[in-house]
Structure 1
Amino acid sequence: MTAVPNPFVGIEIGITRIAPDNYHPWIFNYDDPKFHKPLWPEERADLKDMIDSFTINQAYANFIDDISGSLELGKYADLIIVDKNILEIASEDIGTAKVEATYFMGKKVYAV
């Protein structure tokens, strides 16, 4: 079974190495204490590396890092506005972040 493709959940898991409480609730019993321990804690990543993994590294893997993946002069202005600053909240709360607006090539294409 595949998880819901939510980058914020992926970032949270990469930093904490713990699945959030709302992750696959139909499969796992989160009352079981084993689900609140980090899986291979030595594999934790930092926030910057996790953000890069969902932005510039994805663009690089798709051979489009010359036009996307970071905000730079000459690249498409693809970005999102989020309801909370993931740089300032607790790591275990990153998975709850919600997109409020999406910009593609500099134009708003989604808003709450």
Structure 2
Amino acid sequence: MALRIKTDDEVLVISGKDKGKTGKVLRVDAENDRVFVEGLNIIKRHQKAQPGSTQLGGVIEREASIHVSNVALVDPKTKKPTRIGVEVRDGKRVRVAKRSGEVI
């Protein structure tokens, strides 16, 4: 199944510990139906220092993935969550916000 959410989309988290927060999609894992959202679902990883590397060890915070069903695209016109439709306009497939009809 092709995901309708793409990198750089503005999304709203609709369930989970970050419910109600918005952020930009950094990365999409289409194989597992998951997205990585900037500044949300932060996890801590305890990393050992690697010899010969400039990166030090310690506790590193980074974004974890969120299932695509737990995020909703933010409508560019109304700034509210919306579903996404696909239409053909001028011979090209475009994503359309269901709430306002605006091309995404």
Range into which the TM-score falls when normalised by the shorter chain: under 0.3
Name the one with the larger helix percent: 1
Larger Rg belongs to: 2
Name the one with the larger strand percent: 2
Q: TM-score, normalised by structure 1?
A: 0.25
Query: Highest relative contact order (Cα 8 Å, sep 6+), 1 or 2?
Result: 1
